[in-house]
Amino acid sequence: ARGIQHTAVRQAHRKYEPNFHDKYGNMVLVGGAVVFTAVWAYVLTQAGMEWGLSPVGRVTPKEWKE
């Protein structure tokens, strides 16, 4: 138990060193948001999808084959 207490005291008095998330977290977040926005902008504008949600007039029955 003494060893754990000494370790905890030593770690409490250490200088704080920024880790990866402290250094680059906001940049990674912004970069992900930019990529997400760019991909969806491409999909919504260039993919050639028709955005009419109603199937009325678009769905036609096929000829019956026997």
Give residue-wise pLDDT tens across range 17-51. 888 888 999 999 999 999 999 999 998 888 776 66
CATH number, domain of 38, equals: 4.10.51
**What is the pTM (predicted TM-score) of this model?**
0.49
Give residue-wise pLDDT tens across range 12-23. 666 778 888 889
Residue 28 placed within a domain: yes
Q: How many domains does the chain have?
A: 1
Residue 42 placed within a domain: yes
Residue 64 placed within a domain: no
Residue 62 placed within a domain: no
Given a contact cutoff of 8 angstroms between Cβ atoms, the answer to whether 36 and 42 are in contact is: no
User: Given CA atoms 4, 6, 12, 16 in this order, what sign does their dihedral have?
Assistant: negative
Residue 54 placed within a domain: no
Quote the domain boundaries for residue 16: 1-47
